[in-house]
Amino acid sequence: MRLYTRPVLANYYITYRCNARCGFCDIWERPSPYVTLEAAARNLKDLRRLGVKVVDFTGGEPLLHRQLPELLTLAKEKGFITTLTTNGLLYPKLAQKLRGKVDMLHFSLDSAHPETHNQSRGVACFEKVMESLDIAQSLGERPDILLTVFEENREEIAEVYHRISRPRRLVLILNPVFDYNAVKTGAGLSEKTLQMLSTWGRRPGVYLNEGFIALRRDGGNHTQAPICRAGSSTIVIAPDDKLVLPCYHLGLEEIPIEGQLYTLYHSARVQRLIALEGRLPACEGCAINCYMQPSFAVETSKYFWKALPSTLKYNWMKGTWRQLR
């Protein structure tokens, strides 16, 4: 049964540029402009009309956008829950300007060991993450640590938890890695790793969407009976002000918005693409967290019930449950 018929999330790519070189991501390889404030103001207004509740300002590295504080202010003025994930390299410089503007601020950290984390990210950023956590907390922020889990770093979870997140009373988000397009990450997580993730997800101060585990055990999305609702639950906007459908990672079509997002979203062309969500050949086996999380939330299914306890737990820990009612 469909619980929410309108999109709930906007993945707003404000630039594809990045100052890291993560081996499990190819976004930074794409040429990219920066979102303009004028376009963002128009689109945020229409996103509100469309029913969106959460705007994820993403990239690339979103802190490379010089007008990020203004973009966040626009979103907060319109009542959105804002989220942002960063590698931390620029956060110390921008922390004061971002203060109070991000509801869910995530710092990427894949290991408690500098050399391991830096190798994963392709740049020396471990110390900047540590510095960023200190600064964010000193400003009264409540950042999260986002740990992308691979087969080879699953043992890092314990050290990150005991040495970094738990002493600071921060939420540790466990993010199972995923493959997409030509980017192969070794995302076929073993049953041992899936069991380990589930165990950690029950710890205090840890968030793991248990729906992700169930979906992986079931072989991901299946085109004959799709669980993916990427097109109808999530709106994806590119830095050059285009609507991306049915999702960023597949990117079948990119349509210029030209200040008409609300009208464009309801057009026959866009609705035709939305109807293909989860049914295209490339959708078979997909387990991309960015789209499965909102997909689980808008429709009752096995995955809805698997995801619900962890979703409630996270929003309770963050205090954002009131805004989602």
Beta-carbon count within 10 A of 70 CB: 15
Domain boundaries, the chain: 9-324
pLDDT for the residue 178? 80
The type of residue at 290 is C
Q: Indicate the CATH number for domain 9-324.
A: 3.20.20.70
Report pLDDT for 28.
66
Q: For the chain, which residues score pLDDT lower than 70? A: 24, 26, 28-29, 179-187, 320-325
Looking at the DSSP bridge assignments, the partners of residue 117 are none
**DSSP run (H or E) holding 312:** helix 302-318
- Residue 233: what pLDDT? 97
Confidence (pTM): 0.93
**Residue 187: what pLDDT?**
54
Rounded to whole angstroms, the Cα distance separating 53 from 112 reads: 34
CA–CA dist 234, 249 (Å, integer)? 13
Write down the pLDDT at residue 29: 63
